[in-house]
Amino acid sequence: MPNKLKAGIKNSAPLSELDEFIKNAIQRKRTIHFAPHYRAETQLQLSKLIGLKPCRVKDYASMELIRGIVNLRSVKDELEIAEIEKAVDVAYMMFTAGMKMAFPGRKEQEIVGLMEGISISHGRPVSFPIILSINGQILHNHHHENYLEEGRMMVMDAGSETPMLYASDITRTVPVGGKFSQRQAEIYQIVLNANLRSIEVTKPGTLYFDCHMKAAETIASGLKDLGLMHGDVKEAVAAGAHALFFPHGLGHMLGMDVHDMEGLGQINVGYDKEIQPAKQFGTAYLRMGRRLQPGFVITNEPGIYFIPELIDQWKAADMFPQFINYKKVDEYRYFGGIRIEDDILVTNDGCRILGKPIPKTIAEVEETMRDGLA
């Protein structure tokens, strides 16, 4: 069967007739459905076809079509899942190699180059510009000019893209030199617990918003045990106090885009009539909150960060003194950040982490780095 019939397209015409076809449709006052586009050349093509100024085109994108595409792409079929797993398997090689290079004296960009090279050597580009830094407290940090120093944590956030354009998106954080200090291990274990506990509750029928909240509570509870937070954990999280340390969302859909379908409008992808984005700092940046279904592929990426500028701002504004022990927080001022990210498939009765397992526990990371290329 021709592909267009398999896709359910009954009537079609050669592209050379598109101009004429659209003109006729406009004259006959037919509704024209198009998705929002972000490439400038597509925007210009649409502008010419429809006769709208380029800056107005996206205002006329079809919500019906957006909803259709989101429905189609949110649930991944076996072929798509296999593609994402291939992308994670390349990430396994990128990350284990990156870990083995995280020793004092190396420059961040050497490791970025090696990791990107591994993806390219498998015939695949990276799925987004690699984030790699000993300043993990700066989110999406693409500055790679620091030299690694003992005592710092190095965040690596990267992925690979298959020839069918499916992406992986993984984060690991390792101690420079290969051995966690006690302080590093304590914060790392809290982030790992947040990752594990929120994965445990990831299953069909659960709001992804609740998975995020589980991660936030795990973080607040762990920080309370270390004396960085105090008071009632649930109250602290409800008030948003945890966001000083975890100021972003737990994750997002993953597929042909890293933030899958972001171009269609995040709110259309991650939210629906049942749940709308939160307004509170931190949780407001959760890219997806809606109820999970089998076949969804999502990332799970909790983190703890010590952001000196944010700490100063909150302290000066006397934000949540009942929940935050600023004196203790000051002791961690130059700690940096830790994030751990896996790619997760929602299955019929729970979920599973996709691809070859990438070292994640403290013991696994230290073991991988033991024979590093110092």
Which residue lies nearer to ligand GLY by CB, 116 or 169?
169
List 161, 169, 257, 260, residue binding Mn ion (CB under 5 A): 169
Q: Phi then psi for 99, rounded to 5 degrees?
A: -60, -40
Helix intervals (H) in 201-227:
208-225
Binding residue count for Mn ion, defined by CB under 5 A? 2
Q: Residues 130 to 159: which contact ligand GLY by CB under 6 A?
A: 157
For residue 109 the two structure tokens come to 């960009």
The span from the CA of 278 to the CA of 238, in Å, is: 11
Distance CA 95, CA 169 (A): 11
C-beta of 21 vs 285, nearer to ligand GLY: 285
Q: What are phi and psi of 94, to 5 degrees?
A: -60, -45
Positive or negative torsion for Cα 240, 245, 250, 254: positive
Residue 108 touches which member of Mn ion, ligand GLY, none, C-beta under 5-8 Å by kind:
none
- For Mn ion, the closer of residues 127 and 221 by Cβ is 127
* Residue (of 295, 259, 344) closest to 71 by Cα position: 295
* Binding partner at 161 among ligand GLY, Mn ion, none, C-beta below 5 to 8 Å by kind: none
Q: Return the exposure string of 179-198: e unless at least 16 CB atoms fall within 10 Å of the residue's CB, then b.
A: ebeeebeebbebbbbbbbbb
Amino acid at 49: L
Q: Cβ of residue 169: shortest distance to Mn ion, in angstroms?
A: 4
Instruction: Count other C-beta atoms under 10 Å from residue 57's C-beta.
Output: 20
Cβ-count burial of 102 within 10 angstroms (0-12 exposed, 13-18 middle, 19+ buried)?
buried
Specify the residue, 83 or 169, whose C-beta has the smaller distance to Mn ion: 169
Query: In the block, which residue shows the tokens 């990438």?
Result: 358
Nearest approach in angstroms of CB 341 to ligand GLY is 7
- 85 binds, options Mn ion, ligand GLY, none, Cβ within 5 to 8 A by partner type: none
Answer with the entry of ligand GLY, Mn ion, none that 217 interacts with (C-beta below 5 to 8 A by kind).
none
Pattern 279-318, binding to Mn ion, x per CB under 5 A? --------------------x-------------------
Quickly tell me which residue has 């445990």 as its tokens. Answer: 200
Give dist(CA 37, CA 35) in Å, integer.
6
DSSP 329-341: HHTTTT--EEE-B
- Least Å distance between CB 127 and ligand GLY? 8
- Decide whether 101 or 167 has the Cβ nearer to ligand GLY: 167
Q: Rank residues 157 and 342 by Cβ distance to ligand GLY and give the closer one.
A: 157
CB of 104 to Mn ion, least distance (A): 28
CA 113, 114, 115, 118 torsion-angle sign: positive
**Which residue, 108 or 169, has its beta carbon nearer to ligand GLY?**
169
Which parts of 187-226 interact with ligand GLY (CB under 6 A)? none
- In the bound state with Mn ion, the residue whose beta carbon lies nearer, of 57 and 85, is 85
Binding mask 156-175 for ligand GLY (x = CB under 6 A): -x-----------x------
Q: Which two tokens stand for residue 363?
A: 């013991």
**Smallest distance, Å, CB 341 to Mn ion?**
6
- Cβ-contact 149, 134 below 8 angstroms: yes
Q: Which does 343 bind (CB under 5 to 8 A by kind): Mn ion, ligand GLY, none?
A: none
Stretch that binds Mn ion, among 162-170, 203-211, 279-287, 347-355 (CB under 5 A): 162-170
Q: Is 119 in the site for Mn ion (CB under 5 A)?
A: no
Judged by CB under 6 A, how many residues of this single chain contact ligand GLY?
A: 2
- Looking at the Cβ atoms of 86 and 252, the one nearer to Mn ion is 252
Reduced to 3 states (helix: H, G, I; strand: E, B; else coil), residue 338 is strand
- Residues lying near Mn ion in the complex (CB under 5 A) are found at 169, 299
- Residues lying near ligand GLY in the complex (CB under 6 A) are found at 157, 169
